[in-house]
Amino acid sequence: MSEKHAVHLSIAGMSCAGCVAAVEKALSSVPGVDSASVNFAEHTAMVTGEAPAGALVAAVVQAGYQAAEMVGPEDISGRELAEFAHYRALLQRAAVAALVGAPLMIGGWFGWLPELAAGGVPWFWVATGIATLGVLVYSGGHFFTAAWSALRRHNASMDSLIALGTGSAWLYSMAVVLFPGVIPSLARHAYFEAAAVIIALVNFGSALEMKARGRSSEAIRRLIGMQPATARVVREGVEVDVPVEQVGLDETLRVLPGEKLPVDGLIIEGRSSIDESMLTGEPLPVERGAGERVVGGTLNTTGSFLMKTTHIGRDTVLAHIIDMVRTAQGSKPPVGRLADRVAGVFVPAVLLVAIATFLAWFNFGPEPRAGYSAVTAITVLVIACPCALGLATPISIMVSIGKAAGQGILIRNGESLQRAQQITTVVLDKTGTVTLGQPAVTGIRTMPGQDEAGLLLLAASVEAGSEHAMAAAILAAARERGAALLPVQDFQATAGRGVEGDVEGRRVLLGNAGLFGERGVAITPLQAAYDEQAAHGRSSVFVAVDGRLIGMLTVADPVRADSKDAIRRLQARGLGVVMLTGDAPATAEAVAAEVGIDTVVAGLLPGDKVQHVATLQGSGEIVAMVGDGINDAPVLARADVGFALGSGTDVAIESADITLMGSSLHAVADAIEISRLTVRNIWQNLFGAFIYNSLGIPVAAGVLYPFTGMLLNPMIAGAAMALSSVTVVSNANRLRHMRLGRGAA
C-alpha cells in the first residue's frame, strides 16, 4: 500500500467560488484522497492521501482547469510570473477589442457608418463581422471556453452571460448583414460594436481586479526567506558551513552576532540578546542563556553561543507560522461574486424566456413567422447581455479603491472592501500598532546635584559602543538634545547586564539591578522608582560614576499620539476594540488603560492570537485585525479583514487585506466608512441594472406588440443599454467625492 503524503498543486483558471467547489469535488473524487482543500487566495490546492500527483493533475484538467505539482518555494515565483503574464494578456485583449469596438460605436453615434440596406453586398459590414469574429476568438475566447466548462458542470457564471450575449449579438448581426430579407425592417441593426465593447470592458475589469488582488504568495515567500540558507555546524570539533536543509536533530550549531538562527533549539553554551520581534512583536531583544529555547529565524544581536537543534524542517516555529498563513488564507469562506450568483439564476431564466419567445412567435406571430421568431428570441439574448450588470460592482470598487489610495489606504481586492462594512470587532496588536514600535527614553531620574543633560551625555557616550536596542534609544535621545558624544576608553559589555567605559577619566557604568548588585553600587534611592517602572512594563537602566549612583534612564515604547482618539472613534461607531499582544501583561495593561481599551490579552504567541480571533468569529463576530509585525501575519490572514500598517514588515503587509500607508489608526475607521458607502453604491448600481434588464427583456420579447404593434427597435435598445451603463458609471463616480469623518469621535 502506498504511503500517505501531501501534494501541493498550483491551479489555474479559477475565477469564483463555484470554481473552488468544482476543483475540490474533482480532487476528492480521485481514489486515495483523504482531504482536498483549495486556497482561492493563492490559487493552490493541498491534497492529502495516497493518490499520486499525476492522477490529481489529470482530475483537475478533466474538470476544465489547469494544474501542476508544486515541489519547492521557487514555484511561487514561477506562479507569480505566470499571473503577471496573464494580467498583461488581459490588457492586450482589452486593447484589441477596444480598437475594433470603439470606432464602430463612435461612428454609429455620429452617423458615419454606411447603411445596412444600401443594396448590393455590404462589404463594409462583412469586413466588420470578420473583424469582430477575430475579437471574439482572440479577446473573448476564454469567456466561451469558461462558459462551456460551466455548462458541462451544469452551472452558470458571469462568463456564461458574456459568452451568450456577445455570441448572440454577433450571430444576429451577421444574419442581418447576409440575409437582410429574412429580418423584419424594424429589427435590421448590427450589434458588432456592442459585442466588441463588452469584451473590452470585461477584460479590462478582470485585469484591474487581478492587479488589485495582489500577490498573496508574497507573504509566504518572505517568510521562507527569513530562514538563512546555511548553518554553522560543529562536527568532530570543527565548525563547517552546510545548507540548512542538511542540518539534523541534536546537532551543535555556532551562532555569531548579527546572524539569524537557522533552526529551533536550546542554548548549551554562551549568552546573548535575541531579537524575537518576528515571533512576539516585542521591539527589545531578550536575554537568552544556557538551557533556554531559541527559535529559528530570530536574530542574534550581541553574543556568540552554541545551540543544540531540537526542531528542523517543517517542525520549526517559522515553518508553522508559514503553514498558519497558508491555512488562514485558505480558510476564509470565498465571498461569491454577486454577479456570478445572479448569473446562476439569470442565465437559465433568460434562456427560458428566449425559448418561450421563439415558440410564441413561431406559433402565434405574423408572417414571416420564422423571421419574427428568430428576431425576438435573439433580441432577448442581446438585450440581456449584462453590460450594466457587469459594470455595477467593479466600477464602484475601482473608484473606491482609488479614493482610498488617495487617503493612504491600499485595498488588496474588492472582496475585502465589501467585507469591511460588516466588521463588528477590531482587534489591535500593541507594539508598532497602538505604540510607535521603537524604544525611546521616556524618563530620566537624577540624584541630587546631578542634571539630566549631563547624565544623558555620559550614558550615550558609553552606549555608543553597544548594539543593544536600549542603547539606540539612549543615543537617539542624546542626539535630539544636540549632545556631542565624549570619547570612551576601555569599553566593556556584559551580555544581558550592561556596559561600562572610561569617560574623561571617570568610570561610567550602565546596567540593570543585578549588575549593580555584583559591583556593590547601592541603588536604594531609586529602587522604588525602578520597581514602579517595571510594574508598568518599562525597562530601566541605572547609571553610576566611579561606583556612585547618579541616576536612572527609563526606556519604553511610547503610544502613538492619535491612538487614543482613533480608538475612541471606532468605539463611537459601535465597534468592539480588543488588544492582543505577545508583550508582558503589565506593559499591555498599562498601554490599554492609556488609550481606553477595556479588553486586553497579553503574552500570546502567533498561534494564540489566531485562536482568539477564531473564537471571536465562532461567536458571530466579524473581526478586523490591525498589526504590523511578522508575528501578526497568521492572524492578519485569519481575520475576516486584515489591516497592516505600512510602517510594518513586508510579511504583515502581504498577509493583510488592507494596507495603511500611514501609521494612524484613524485610517481603519476611514476604510470601514469607505466600505459602507461603496456597498451602498453597488446596490444602487445593481438595482439600476436590474431595472433595465427587467423592463428591456419583456419588451424585447414583444409583450407590447399585441397592443401597440411595436417591436423593440434595436437602436432604442442600444441607446437604453448605453444609458444604463452611463447611469451606473456616473453613480459610481460619486464615490470620488465621499467625505470621511477622520478625527471625529
Active site positions, annotated: 429
Q: Is 492 helix (H, G, I), strand (E, B) or coil?
A: strand
Residue 340 grid cell: 456570478
Cα separation, 639 vs 564, in Å, equals 23
Nearest CA among 410, 421, 414 for reference residue 658: 410
Cα separation, 80 vs 3, in Å, equals 32
Nearest CA among 323, 209, 335, 280 for reference residue 640: 335
Residues forming beta bridges with residue 49, ordered by sequence position: 5, 33
Taking the mean position of all CA atoms in its chain, how far away is CA 437?
A: 22
Cα separation, 710 vs 442, in Å, equals 82
Query: Is-contact 656 642, C-beta < 8 A?
Result: yes
Query: Is-contact 136 166, C-beta < 8 A?
Result: yes
Cα separation, 590 vs 537, in Å, equals 8
Q: Is 541 helix (H, G, I), strand (E, B) or coil?
A: strand
Q: Is 292 helix (H, G, I), strand (E, B) or coil?
A: coil
C-alpha distance across the termini of the chain, in Å: 65
Query: Is-contact 715 676, C-beta < 8 A?
Result: no
Q: In degrees rounded to 5, what are phi and psi of residue 239? A: -85, 125
Any residues with CB less than 8 A from the CB of 125 and at least 6 apart, and which?
114, 116, 177, 190, 192
Query: Is-contact 388 724, C-beta < 8 A?
Result: yes
Q: Is 579 helix (H, G, I), strand (E, B) or coil?
A: strand
Nearest CA among 62, 118, 658 for reference residue 412: 658
DSSP state of 486: P
Residues forming beta bridges with residue 395, ordered by sequence position: none
Q: Is 239 helix (H, G, I), strand (E, B) or coil?
A: strand
Cα separation, 728 vs 686, in Å, equals 8
- Longest Cα–Cα distance of the chain, Å, equals 115
Torsion angle of the four alpha carbons 3, 8, 14, 18, in this order, in degrees rounded to the nearest 10: 40
Query: Is-contact 20 45, C-beta < 8 A?
Result: no
Taking the mean position of all CA atoms in its chain, how far away is CA 728?
A: 27
Helix (H) or strand (E) holding 44: strand 44-49
Residue 679 grid cell: 456597498
Cα separation, 410 vs 310, in Å, equals 41
Query: Is-contact 587 537, C-beta < 8 A?
Result: yes
Nearest CA among 279, 284, 272 for reference residue 554: 284
Cα separation, 613 vs 333, in Å, equals 15
Cα separation, 626 vs 660, in Å, equals 10
Query: Is-contact 253 233, C-beta < 8 A?
Result: yes
Q: In degrees rounded to 5, what are phi and psi of residue 10? A: -95, 130
Query: Is-contact 198 211, C-beta < 8 A?
Result: no
Cα separation, 299 vs 197, in Å, equals 55
Q: What is the chain's percent helix, strand, coil content, to nearest 5?
A: 55, 20, 30
